[in-house]
Amino acid sequence: MEQTAAESARRRLARLAEDPVPPIPPRWVASPARAASRLLLKRYFDLELVGREHLPRGGPAIVIPNHPTYVDPWLVGLGTTRWITWMAWEDAFTWPVVGAFIRSMGAFPVNVERPQPSTIKAAVRVLEQGRALGVFFEGGRTKGPDVIDPPRRGGPRLALLAGAPVIPVSIAGARRLWPSGRPLPSQGKVVVRYHPPIDPRAVLPGAPARAREERLTELVSQAIRAGLPRDGRPRAVRAPGAAGTIPPA
């Protein structure tokens, strides 16, 4: 049965591998953009990056953060020299200026409610090329009163499909400084905490796909929430397994 499941997964990957990959921006675009975001965000938010050693230096990886603000891709991306290719809300690609900008940064659109096969194909191809893929755990920006909104399973599902490690990320303090509905953020402290990778292959091996997906989603949620105090203040919080790896089951 395990061989049949593996063969089925390989066939799905082969079918999904037909669509083109969104390109990484050329150096002359990426370098100034990264430098500008580093200068502005680290000063404006008094940004602290914790656990950067947990980000793999190479190979496929899925980075899954919470999503309190519009600048989260830049906040998370400053923790690594690798370029993270982000799945972004499809409506944003229709906005004047913003749409062209995020496309030039290598992002590609996703329908949060109903992801299209072409989106899954593009995401899988990004991982097959050994790149880092960014997927927001909540889909859209945080709206509810809790530290995160109910999670989406797209990131964990992709991780199980491609066998790529998952790096949960907690962005603490940003939601308090820039709540939904406010046009601009306040200045203050933001901590981006990168948690140890989770190997999806070690999550309930041999169990039904849905059970594995639910368990991986639960592990990612536990890690992200561990770095997000309920009052929104970015206090130092030790995530479970922070000294090593998050147990898969």
What local confidence, expressed as pLDDT, does residue 52 receive? 95
Residue 100 token pair? 């062209």
Query: If you average pLDDT over every residue of the chain, what do you get?
Result: 83
Q: What is the pLDDT confidence band of residue 75, given thresholds at 50, 70 and 90?
A: very high
| pLDDT classification of 5: cutoffs 50, 70, 90 | low
Closest CA to 190 of 207, 171, 167: 171
Span of 54-58, 151-155, 161-165, 239-243 with lowest mean pLDDT: 239-243
Sequence ranges of the domains in the chain: 2-22+42-83+115-122+137-205
**pTM: predicted TM-score of the whole model, two decimal places:** 0.83
Place of tokens 């981006």: 192
Asked which of 70-79, 122-131, 233-242 is least confident by mean pLDDT, the reply is: 233-242
Q: What is the pLDDT of residue 71?
A: 92
For residues 77 and 223, what is the distance between their CA atoms, to the nearest angstrom? 19
Residues in a beta bridge with 194: 169
Q: What is the pLDDT of residue 246?
A: 39
